[in-house]
Amino acid sequence: MKRKGLVKKVLFYTVAAVVAVVTIAFALVYTYQDKIIALFVTEANKHIKTKVEVGTISLSLLDKFPQVAVSLDKVNVVEAVPESAEPLAKLSKLYFTFSIWDVLRGKYNVNELYLEDGAIFVKVLKDGSVNYEIIKTDTTATANNDFAFNLEQIELNRVAIHYTDLKLNQAYEVDAHQLQAALAIDPEAIGIEAKGDATINTIKLSSGEYFKGKRVTLNAALAIDRINKSITLDPSVVNVENAAYEVAGRINFAETTELDLKLNGKNTSIQSLLSLLPQHITKEFNQYRSDGDVYFSGSVKGKISAKHNPEITFSFGCRNATFYHPDVKQRLEKLSFEGSFTNGTNQNASTSALVLKNLKGSLNNRTFTGNVSYKNFKNPTVAFDARGMVDVAYVLGLLQLKQVRSGSGLADVQIAFSGNFNEFKERPGNSTLHTSGDITLHNVSLHLADLPLPITGMYGNFMFKRNDVAVSNFKGKLGESDFALNGMFNNVMAWLLLKNQRLLVDADFSSYNLNFDQLLREELNTPASARESNSGYRLEVSPDIAFNLEASVRKMKFRRFKGENIKGAVTLRNQVITTPNISFNAMGGNFAVRGSIDARQRNHIKVSTASKINHMSVDSLFYVFENFNQDFILDRHLRGSLTANIISDVYLDNQLNPKTNLLEAEIEATVRNGQLINFAPMQKMSTFVKRSELANMRFSELHNNFYIQQRTIYIPEMDIRTNLSPLPSVSISGMHTFDQDMDYKIKMPLFQKRRPDKDAVFGVVAEDTDAGNSMLFLTLKGKENNFKLAYDDERVRAKIKDDLKQEGQEIKQILKGKKPVKKEKTVELEEGEYFDFN
C-alpha cells in the first residue's frame, strides 16, 4: 500500500510540475508578448528592404508547441523590383519560432521558419536581375542584440512555388505539400538537408515541357560554398511516382552557372522514363504502365545561361519487361530495347535525338522486332523499321486508339520508314519521304469511329515505295457490299500525314454486290455527332480523294433499282465524278450512260447524264422510279418495251432529295408492243368503245420527244395506233406538271352508226365513207384525281378554218380539172360543252 501511495505522489507532483511550467510559460509569453513582437518588428525592419504587408502579428505558445512562435497572418511580401507592386510571397500564415528558455533569458534566437497555405513567386528578369533579394544584411551575424535570426530549419506546408526565368525562357511550378530543410549556416558555407513531398505541376524549358503532374519525394543533402559560389550535391534521392533517381554532382554559380550532375535510376519503369521527356513526344503514352527490369542513367554537364545549355545525355532500356494499358487486358510482353537521349553537339532542340535500338517483344505470343529514332526535335526526322506478324485486335486493344473502336485479323508487317516532316510538308511530291517493305492483311476487320458500317474480311498486299503504295488483290466488305482492288495508291503518305493532300487511286475495281441503300444511308455512313437527320441518305465527296477506276460490278442495288453487269470507267477529280461509258442491264433492258456528278457544292449536287436505253420494260421503269412521284398513271397501267435517248441535268441536296424546280431533261422515246391497262381517262371513252376493250388498249408503237423544265413535262403531239377498231388511232399532246396539274389535247376519229338519241348531242354525222373520217377534238384538264374531258372548241374552229381554206384550194383544183382529195369530218358540239361519259 505504501508503494502504491508513493506512485500516486510521484504522478501528482509530476503533473503539478508540468502544469506549473506551462502556466509559467503562458504567463511569461503573455507578459512579454508586446516586447517580443516589438523586438521582432525592429529586427525584421533592419534586414528586410522591401514592403511587407501583415494582417496581424501575435505571439503563440500552442501553434508550434513547445516552441514559442511569432505568428504573422495574411502576409504579402512585395518583390524586390523597383516600382513593382507584384508579390514575392502571399501566405496565410508565417511563423518564426524560438525556445521558451529564450524568454527566461531575454535573448531571442529565431531558429525555425514555417510558411503555410500560400504561394511564392520567384523571378529572374530578362536583364538577369532577380526579385527575391529582400535581405539587407546577414541575419546570422547580428551582435549585441536581444533578438537574432539564426535559422536552422525551414518548413513549407501547402505552398505553391512558381519560378520563372525570363532570361532562359524557363518556368517551374511546384506544389510543396510538406517540405523541410535543415540548415547549418556559417560565414563560409551553408549545409542543407531537405526532405518532403511535392507535386511538380510542370517544368517548362524552351524545348518542351517535363515532369507534368508528377508526384515527387525528396531526400537531399547539399553544401553551398559561399566564398567560391558553388554547390556540392551529395548522393540524393528523388522519387518520381514509384521510381527513384539518385542525383549527385556539382553546380558552380560564380559567373555563368555550370552543371556537372549524374543521374541514376532505381526501380524505374517506362512511364517514369517517359515523364522525363517533353510532353509533346510522350502524351500519347502517359497512361501506359510497365513491369520488369528497366534501367536508366544520365548526366547533365556544361554551362546554363541565355546563350548556353548544358549537354544532356541519358541511356535507358529494359530487359524482359511488360508494357500495357491499365484499362485493358492486352500486354506487350518480353520487351527489350536499348535507348538513348541526347541534346547533341549544340545542346538544343535541333541537335536532340531519341533512339530505340534492338527493339524486341511479343504481342499475343507473336514476336516482333524493330528500331526507332526521332532526331531534331525542332525539325523532326523520324525513322523506324518493324517486322512481325501482328494480331490486329490485340494491338488495337493495347493502343486504345479513339479512331478505331475494334478490329480483328492478322497483318504481316515488314516495313521501313524515314523522313523529315517539315521538308515533306513543304515538298510532299518530292522524294523527301522514304518508305519500303509491305503489309499483308489476313482476314482483317475494322470498326471505325467515323464510319458506322464495319469493314470486314480484308485480304491483300500493300507494297510501299516512297510516297506511294502498290495494292494487290485487296479484297473486303463494307457492310453488305464487297470490293476488290488492284492498282496504285499514289501520294498515300502525304494524304495520311498532312492536311489538304490528295490521295490518287489508279486501279481496277470489281464487286459482286454493291448495296447503295447501305453505303449512302446517313445513319450508316456518318457518325452520330455529324448527322443532320435520323433517316434518309447522305452523299459527300471528299476533296482529298481522286481516282481512275475501271469498274466491273455484278449486282447493284439502290432503293427499288437493281442493276446487273455494270461495266465502265469512272473518274473522280475535285469532287466531280465523271464517266465516258458505263453500261449495265436493268428492268429487262440495257443502259449506256455517260455523264458527271458534281459535288463541289455540298447541298447543290448536279448530276448531268446522256443515256441510251434499249428494250426496257416500261412497267418496271415506273415501278423502280416509284411512279415518278405521281399517281395518275402507275406501273400497273403500262406494258411495253422502251427504247430512249435521255439528256438530263438533275440537282440534289447532300441527302439526295431532288431539287425538282431545277430539273431539265430531253427525252426521245419509242415504246413498242405497248398496253394501257385499266387507265381511268380511257374508261371515259366508253361512249365510243366498249368498256371491256378499253380495259386493255394495245398499240404497236409510240414515238415522241418529251421535255422537262420548271417542274413541267411537255409532250408534243403524237399519234398512237391502237388495236381498237372503233378507235384505230389517237393523237395526244399537252403538259403535266410535278404538282399533278394536267392539260392534254386529244384528237381521235369518230366511228359510229346513226343513233338519233345519241347523235343529237354531237350533231349529225353522215355515213359517207367517201367523205373521209369524222374527228373528235377533246381537252383533258385538272388534277390527277379530279379532271374533266371537254369539247375543244378552239381546235375545232382552227380545223374549220383550215377546212374552208382547203375547200377553196379544192375548188381551184376542180376548175383546173384535178380530182379533189378526201377530207376529215369534224364533229361539231355546242361551245364549251363537257362530256358526261358513263
Most confident stretch, 4-13, 20-29, 174-183: 174-183
Task: Give the model's pLDDT for residue 32.
Answer: 60
- What average pLDDT score do residues 331-353 get? 87
Contact call for residues 240 and 214 (beta carbons, < 8 A): yes
Q: Is the pLDDT of residue 63 over 80?
A: no
- At 462-487, the pLDDT tens digits run 999 888 899 999 999 998 999 999 99
Task: Give the model's pLDDT for residue 218.
Answer: 83
- What average pLDDT score do residues 690-703 get? 70
Alpha carbons within 13 A on the beta-carbon side of 229: 7
383 alpha-carbon distance from chain centroid: 26
- At 387-405, the pLDDT tens digits run 999 888 888 877 777 888 8
Give which of 81, 147, 58, 155 is closest to 115, Cα–Cα. Answer: 155
- What average pLDDT score do residues 725-737 get? 75
Task: Give the integer Cα–Cα distance in Å for 795 and 89.
Answer: 104
Task: Give the model's pLDDT for residue 596.
Answer: 93
Q: Is the pLDDT of residue 517 over 80?
A: yes
**Cell numbers for 113:** 521558419
553 alpha-carbon distance from chain centroid: 32
**Cell numbers for 64:** 508550434
Task: Give the integer Cα–Cα distance in Å for 296 and 265.
Answer: 5
Any idea which of 11-15, 101-105, 651-655, 665-669 has the lowest mean pLDDT?
11-15
Task: Give the model's pLDDT for residue 830.
Answer: 45
**Where do we find the cell 554547390?**
231
Per-residue confidence band for 759, with pLDDT thresholds at 50, 70 and 90: very low
827 alpha-carbon distance from chain centroid: 74
Q: Is the pLDDT of residue 537 over 80?
A: yes
The amino acid sitting at 596 is: S
Q: Is the pLDDT of residue 724 over 70?
A: no
Task: Give percent of the chain above pLDDT 90.
Answer: 16
What pTM value is reported for the model? 0.66
- Give the angle subtended at the CA of 759 by the CAs of 753 and 761, to the nearest 5°: 155
Decide which of 65 and 410 is more confident.
410
Give which of 596, 592, 638 is closest to 617, Cα–Cα. Answer: 638
**SS3 call for 373:** strand
Most confident stretch, 39-53, 621-635, 819-833: 39-53
Dmax over Cα atoms in the chain, in whole Å?
A: 177
Task: Give the model's pLDDT for residue 383.
Answer: 92
**Cell numbers for 701:** 408503237
Task: Give the integer Cα–Cα distance in Å for 753 and 304.
Answer: 121
- At 780-812, the pLDDT tens digits run 888 867 777 777 777 666 666 666 566 556 555
Decide which of 319 and 167 is more confident.
319
Task: Give the integer Cα–Cα distance in Å for 743 and 788.
Answer: 10
636 alpha-carbon distance from chain centroid: 49
Per-residue confidence band for 330, with pLDDT thresholds at 50, 70 and 90: confident
Give which of 766, 680, 692 is closest to 726, Cα–Cα. Answer: 692
The amino acid sitting at 683 is: Q
Task: Give the integer Cα–Cα distance in Å for 238 and 383.
Answer: 34
- At 272-316, the pLDDT tens digits run 766 666 666 666 666 667 777 788 888 989 887 767 788 889 898
> Residue 807's CB: how many other CB atoms inside 10 A?
12
